[in-house]
Amino acid sequence: MSRRVCPRCGFRYGREALRCALDGSALEALPDPLRGRLLGQRYRVGEELGAGAMGTVYEGDDVRAGSPVAIKVPDAEALGDEVLRERFLREGRVGMALRHPHVAATLDVGCDGDTHYLVMERLYGETLAARLARGAPPIATAVSWARQLADALDALHARGVVHRDVKPSNVFLDARAEPARCVKLLDLGVARDAGDDALTASRAVLGSARTMAPEQARGERATAASDLYSLGAVLFEMLTGGPVFRGNDVALRRAHFGVAPPRARSLRGDVSDDLDELVDVLLAKSPAQRPVSAAHVRDRLDALAAEGPDEATRMAPPTERAADDLDAAVDPARVAEAHAALAAVVARWGALGPALDALTRLRASEAELRRVTLALAQLPRDAGDATRRRAELAAALADEERGALVEALRGAGVSRERLREGLDAAARDAEGLALALRRLCLPPRA
């Protein structure tokens, strides 16, 4: 599990840090003692594949079977916590007991000296989160992926297990499998037996705020219906390219139990009535109002697929709105202004700041923002609902990029005062460009 160290002062950091907070030096990776090690006299540890909150996943080789595997090793901090250690071991037990084509297979659980590990099937491809970062897939594809995910949840629920953390980063798309069998549900570490609360502290909130069911957000007990809400949130994101709600974790939790979700069809007009209704029912605030089971959801998705792509992806007829309704929609000019302001922030910090590692990421963001802003500026004035849908997606991108920018600057050691000054200056820089874009993007009023 790689860590980083400052070559000057020797202070050690986590794997995500890039520069020393004390002297600004670029951090160097420490050698990973697990690399090349043979665990259980059988599993050779290879390159790191990824890291999460509890541990690290490596590529590996089963030297007895001569086959590739993935090896998950918990961090020392997780092993030192009794609850986290038990969750890791339970992930192994649940995974070993469950064999399903849409759940990543756990092949072995072991301990070599003081190193605990899980051995899982080696998957090749990407997470759903990585795929969605490139945009929403075709609707027929989203329906197929959701159907496979519902099938995985049905298998878990049939064994009395609730996953509790269904989200895009816990869904893997296996590039080597056929499309109808490519979805794999990952990470059973937060899963629990429906009647077992031993590993959940009173009022503890577990799961991702992005896809969390309202009852989980309130600290209440998660049930199979909670997984269905999360499935609905994932399906919504596959259809629209963005999450149901946006904001920090506190704002997201409040929104999940206190704000009506938008309709998927309002953001993507070619979502059919039946599919839109299914997503809305999955996102019901009350567990009793959601579908009765994951099997029921799977069957409804099967029915949509059987009716053919024309039903699942039927283009909704254009909606005529009065000029007065424009105030309730996203104004493309405001979207363009947000992009202009963010681009100005990136440009200003690129000129002012020290050699920040964040600049590579920020400049890539700037290029993307310029592309979207240009596309907005070139939209015809009479584009109507299509203009607004595209503007809404662009606004979502602007919000995400702005948040990433601020976090990157803070992570690079920029003080709040300098950050505030830079943002204020960038807002002033953006005014002229925003006014020009407003003239290009603003829909005409009657």
How far is it, in rounded angstroms, from Cα 386 to Cα 332? 11
Residue 137: how many CB atoms within 10 A of its CB?
18
- Reduce the DSSP state of residue 291 to 3 states and report it: coil
What's the first-to-final CA gap in the chain, in angstroms? 62
Burial class (CB in 10 A: 0-12, 13-18, 19+), 220: middle
Phi, psi of 78 (to 5 degrees): -65, -40
SS (H, E, C) 401-444: HHHHHHHHHHHCCCCHHHHHHHHHHHHHHHHHHHHHHHHHHCCC
How far is it, in rounded angstroms, from Cα 237 to Cα 132? 8
How far is it, in rounded angstroms, from Cα 426 to Cα 361? 18
Phi, psi of 203 (to 5 degrees): 65, 15
Residue 81: how many CB atoms within 10 A of its CB?
14
Q: One of 75, 108, 154, 165 is an active-site residue; which one?
A: 165
Could you tell me if 106 and 93 are in contact, meaning their C-beta atoms sit under 8 angstroms apart?
A: no
Strand order in the sheet with 171-174: 125-127, 171-174, 183-185
How far is it, in rounded angstroms, from Cα 348 to Cα 219? 43
| Interhelix angle 273-282/294-306, nearest 10 degrees | 170
Burial class (CB in 10 A: 0-12, 13-18, 19+), 15: middle
Q: Confirm whether 382 is a catalytic residue.
A: no
Could you tell me if 224 and 157 are in contact, meaning their C-beta atoms sit under 8 angstroms apart?
A: yes
The residue assigned the tokens 């690290």 is 56
How far is it, in rounded angstroms, from Cα 290 to Cα 216? 15
Active site residues: 165
